[in-house]
Amino acid sequence: MDMSTDTAPGRATAATAGELSYAEAAALAVQREMEADARVVVLGEDVGRGGIFGQYKGLQQRFGAERVIDTPISEAAIMGAGVGMALAGLRPVVEMRVVDFALCGMDELVNQAAKNRFMFGGQGRVPLVARMPGGIWDASAAQHSQSLEAWFAHLPGVVVVCPSTPQDNHSLLRAAMQCGDPVVYIEHKNLWGRRGAVDESLAVPLGQAARLRAGDALTMVSWSRQLQACSAACDLLAAEGIAVELIDLRTLWPWDREAVFGSCGRTGRLMVVHEAVQAGGFGAEIAASAAEATGCRIARLGAPRIPVGYAPVLEAQSRVTAERIADTARALCR
């Protein structure tokens, strides 16, 4: 996919913002893009009051209700309006509240946004960012805790992004808003309060992974909130003398094959870990591609194919813990 950019001329580079939460970093990213480009608009339920996670806090007061648009409770109408805006020359940020609710707007995304450029020979572009918070939401049960990123990675015509840190949620969201194609942007529902340093001048291109740890025993690839459990597992393994190279994929489509293949080619082992259900998960695509390209040994780890329970003891069955990750890594290294 061509992820060409079409940015406003004279865009300035901002200074370091300091420590921000995941939500604050996203709000600042939207603010900066709205300041730089009058075509950027936001639409969705409750965006005027800042969004349910605070990811639009203060933006309607700054830019007005004509650019930060509160909508009726209709995901199909929200997504459809966003597609129309994009085709008319705007650059909409479409808020779906959570990925589970976005299912009501799938036709507009799948059959209109994703396919317009192909079906009309490039005469129309849909530079739309669909924000769909995903993942297990504590004590929110099966209809509010789904990880559906593999659905969108399977969809030709869209870019898929899963940021794991405040810095990435700032830099990647800005990159998504500058992209000339539709972007499915999946922030994790339980990361909004996570804090970290954010440098506004740091540009992170779509499709580039990040190496979080160096190691020679095993390559471990993950994304989004699952990186936290992976990092804890790496600490456990390091205490035993097992040095893991940990990679945050960041963008699921296009994904950074060069970084992954280069790493697992050196280590000879690849383990892919994700919070989503293992059956049919995107980890299988990475694993199969790496095995074909490098011949490395493979392990993958995801959630069981069950709905996420409401009770804590049931919810825990869907989580991929640091202990499970470490156990699987040890078996792969034997």
What confidence score (pLDDT) does residue 16 get? Answer: 63
What confidence score (pLDDT) does residue 17 get? Answer: 73
What confidence score (pLDDT) does residue 156 get? Answer: 97
Which residues face 134 on adjacent strands? 188
Spell out the domains of the chain, with CATH numbers in brackets.
19-199 (3.40.50.970), 210-333 (3.40.50.920)
Out of 144, 170, 188, 274, which one is annotated catalytic? 144
How close are the terminal C-alpha atoms of the chain, in Å?
A: 39
Q: Average pLDDT across each block of 10 residues of the chain; the chain has 334 residues. List them in order.
A: 43 62 98 98 97 96 97 97 97 96 96 96 95 95 96 97 98 97 98 97 97 97 98 98 98 98 97 97 98 97 96 96 97 95
What confidence score (pLDDT) does residue 7 get? Answer: 39
Residue 274 bears catalytic tag: no
What confidence score (pLDDT) does residue 6 get? Answer: 47
Helices 166-178 and 22-36: angle between axes, nearest 10 degrees: 30
